Structure formats: C-alpha cells, structure tokens
C-alpha cells in the first residue's frame, strides 16, 4: 500500500491537471468568441455528435435484430419530427423517439 503522502501527491497532481484541462477552454474562449471557426463549431458540433450517436445506435440495433430496423428508422423520423415541431427541445424529442422505439420493439 502506498504511503499517505504519495496518495496526496497523486491526488494533487490529478486535481491540478483536471482543473487546468477544464479551465483552459473557458479562458481562451473569451478571445475567440468573435471567431468564425468557433461560431461554426458551435453550430455543427452538436449535430455531429448526435449524428455519430444515432449511427452507432442504429448500427447496434440492426446488428442485434435486423427485423427491428424499420422500427428504429420510424423512431428516428419521430424524433426528428418532434424536434422540429416543438421548438428543438432535445430532451423531449429524444424521449419521445425512445418511447416510440421501445413500444414498437416490445409489440413484436
């Protein structure tokens, strides 16, 4: 078992690195706020993350049960429709889309 001073030193280093990695983007963002690149990233990053998540989830669904693919695609369409119809509320649209998928798959 490592000594107490060793554990405290490791925790201090981990704390410092974590704090620095979380604080640096906010410190730099003030200078970059008017940058066109930051505006584009702010627009496209959430879309890209959700697209990657959707493709990964759909791929896993099709691999696990190929017959559930129409249900998954219908749930994606419902999610997109709810998202656009109700003011782009992500939690609402993802929740409704998930509920539709669960109901459809369990009705097999």
- pLDDT tens digits, 6-53: 999 999 999 999 999 999 888 887 788 888 888 888 889 988 888 898
CB atoms near residue 57 (< 10 Å): 15
| pLDDT score of 82 | 94
| Three-class DSSP category at 107 | coil
| pLDDT score of 63 | 87
pLDDT digits (tens, 9 = 90+) for 42-72: 889 988 888 898 889 888 888 888 888 899 9
pLDDT band at 108 (very low <50, low <70, confident <90, very high): low
Spatial separation of the C-alpha atoms in residues 56 and 52, rounded to whole Å: 6
Spatial separation of the C-alpha atoms in residues 105 and 68, rounded to whole Å: 7
- Residue in the structure block whose two tokens are 């190929």: 66
């Amino acid at each position: 078992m490592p000594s107490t001073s060793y554990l405290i030193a490791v925790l201090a280093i981990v704390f410092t690195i974590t704090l620095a990695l979380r604080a640096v983007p906010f410190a730099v963002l003030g200078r970059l706020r008017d940058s066109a690149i930051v505006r584009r990233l702010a627009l496209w990053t959430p879309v890209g993350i959700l697209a990657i998540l959707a493709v990964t989830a759909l791929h896993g669904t099709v691999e696990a049960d190929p017959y559930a693919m129409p249900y998954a695609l219908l749930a994606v369409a419902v999610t997109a429709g709810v998202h656009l119809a109700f003011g782009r509320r992500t939690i609402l649209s993802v929740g409704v889309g998930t509920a539709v998928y669960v109901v459809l798959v369990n009705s097999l």
